Amino acid sequence: MSYAASTTQTLDYLVRSTTEVETKIVSCERMVKYTQLEQEGPWETAAHSRPYPSWPEGGEIVFEGVACRYQDGMEEVLKGVNLRVHAHKKIGICGRTGAGKSTLTLLLSQLMDPSAGRILVDSLDISNIGLHDLRARIAVVPQDAQCFQGSWRDNLDPEGAQKDNQLWRVVEDCALKAHIESLEGGLDTRINEGGRNLSNGQRQLLCLASAMLATSRAAKILVMDEATSAVDPETDGQMQAVIRKGFMSVTVLVVAHRPNTLLECDRVLVVDRGQVLEFDSPRTLMANTESAFYGLCLEAGLVG
């Protein structure tokens, strides 16, 4: 009986070990795949291509025949996109899921590389700009904003370049001042990793405040990628008010599923199957009952 029990335990251990090995093999495969990824471009710009210190002054964005695919051999997710976004304009980007909306912003930050065409920011081809120089000029508020473990001050200004009066001004503009003042440590109050001790709306507003500080330094482009899709209507309204008042000298790209958030944009870009379907003012597109944007507004109940 003792030998039978020992054999049963050994078999049980063998089965559990086999299952664990299979699980760990998946992790190993992921690590190997990671080591085989193509390296990103250079961090610093080559001396002969370095942009002038004030670049970009306006934030004009031009896509010239831009195509993109996620992997070699796959279908293109963007197909010959030609687009000009004038400086200091607020552009809404909408379309069905998988249409290629967010891909445009990934290309702009060089998180993806185009398979054809080029992207210019204030007449400079961004493929010649180092990642540090490029990304320092672009502020991003994603759908699920993440916070670092540290203080409110650390999350607002990681480089420690801003004075307290500037930090308080920004948090007031972003409707966070009353909450931070109620905390015992004020700006030095700790935030848990990932912002777990903050509400979703507070995380989004904190990220927006950080973006506002970034645009006061070097960033001339703000990307809002579904930034208000998971917040309550009150927070959505607060964020829209901040964008209207706080980013007037910045080029703003707003990626959204809900067309109501795009009605105050200067122009709306409708993307469909990787191509530019429409690009005009919201008023013009809404006046055309045959437009795709009108159809999206109709589905959202914005028109009768």
Burial 115-151 (b: 16+ CB within 10 A, else e): eebebbbbebebebbbbebbbebbbbbbeebebeeee
Spatial separation of the C-alpha atoms in residues 184 and 173, rounded to whole Å: 21
**Any idea where the domains of the chain sit in the sequence?**
58-145+220-299
CATH code reported for the domain at 58-145+220-299: 3.40.50.300
Contacts 24+ apart (CB under 8 A), 97-100: 97/257, 99/271, 99/272, 99/273, 99/274, 100/68, 100/271, 100/273, 100/274, 100/275
Q: What is the separation, in whole angstroms, between the first and last Cα of the chain?
A: 80
Model confidence pLDDT, tens digit, residues 48-57: 888 888 899 8
Q: What is the pTM of this model?
A: 0.84
Residues 6+ apart with CB under 8 A from 143: 225, 226, 227, 229, 230
Model confidence pLDDT, tens digit, residues 186-220: 999 999 988 888 988 899 999 999 999 988 878 89
Q: Which pLDDT score, from 0 to 100, does residue 252 have?
A: 95
* Mean per-residue pLDDT of the chain: 89
Q: What is the token pair recorded at 164?
A: 């307290």
Q: What is the token pair recorded at 145?
A: 């904003």
Q: Which pLDDT score, from 0 to 100, does residue 285 have?
A: 94
